[in-house]
Amino acid sequence: SATILLLRDGASGLEVFMVKRHHQIDFASGALVFPGGKLDPHDNDPALRSHADGAESLDDLRLSLAACAIREGFEESGILLARKPGTSTYIDAATSSALSPWRPKLNNSEVGLTEFLTRESLRLACDALVPFAHWVTPTFMPKRFDTYFYLAATPPGQLGRHDGSESVDSVWVNPNEAIEDKRWTIIFPTKMNLLKLGKAKSVADAVAAARSQPVVTVEPTVVTRDGKQLLTIPPEAGYGAIEEPLSSIRG
């Protein structure tokens, strides 16, 4: 699966777009999360390579993950990282808004990205994504995910809005304020990535930091200390020395 952290510089500094999951969703129901989801079979379409900027630097798996991240971002926020052929600038807010009828069709896998991009004469901006994190669900969890996280600066003017089905609310929020605000439920991986992102003061800082640091796979493990079970993650992954109660994991 793939997740996208859409960033902008706001009044309170760095902000990230997050959505509140519908309570009937079977994973992280009711939680505040980043847009993301499972790879769709259409994301593996070989023809997609000829419609994606930056594809030449990605193998087939990485291209499908990048496509998934951008597709999920569009489905869940309406923000689309795409360009018209032959241009170096993103599509504008009016264009992305006009493309909104495609969101449910892509979400339901009625069409794939290749058809969407072909019919709308667009190119996917895979080169806009910066690898940020890679998390694998612990072995003891009943439902496991292998998730790649990407950063991307949000195209100017594209404001974002939740889809009203999988997500029922959305917010642009400073990463540290999201953690501190008790109104929201935030699951362990999301909290850790907010903490990591919150070290940056601006979009430029966040992107530069992500480009300079290798992505280390995180598969949380459990240790027992003073009779308590604690979740730990590799310190070399860039999150610091983390020990959280096992109850922090919520699915």
Q: Which residues of 118-149 are buried (b: 16+ CB within 10 A; e: fewer)?
A: eeeebbbbbbbbbbbbbbebeeeeeeebebbb
pLDDT value, residue 28:
47
If one counts every other C-beta atom within 10 angstroms of the C-beta of residue 226, the result is 5
| pLDDT, tens digit, 9 for 90 and up, residues 193-249 | 999 999 999 999 999 999 999 999 999 988 898 888 898 998 999 998 888 888 766
| pLDDT, tens digit, 9 for 90 and up, residues 35-51 | 999 999 999 999 999 99
The proportion of the chain whose per-residue pLDDT surpasses 90, expressed as a percent, equals 72
CA distances to 96, 121, 154, 180 from 86, rounded to whole Å, are 18, 11, 20, 44
| pLDDT, tens digit, 9 for 90 and up, residues 130-173 | 999 999 988 877 778 899 999 999 999 998 775 555 555 788 99
What mean pLDDT is reported for the chain? 90
Q: Which two tokens stand for residue 218?
A: 């995180």
pLDDT value, residue 251:
45
Q: Which residues of 158-169 are buried (b: 16+ CB within 10 A; e: fewer)?
A: bebbbbeebbbe
Query: What is the length of the chain?
Result: 251
Tell me which H or E stretch contains 119.
Answer: helix 113-120
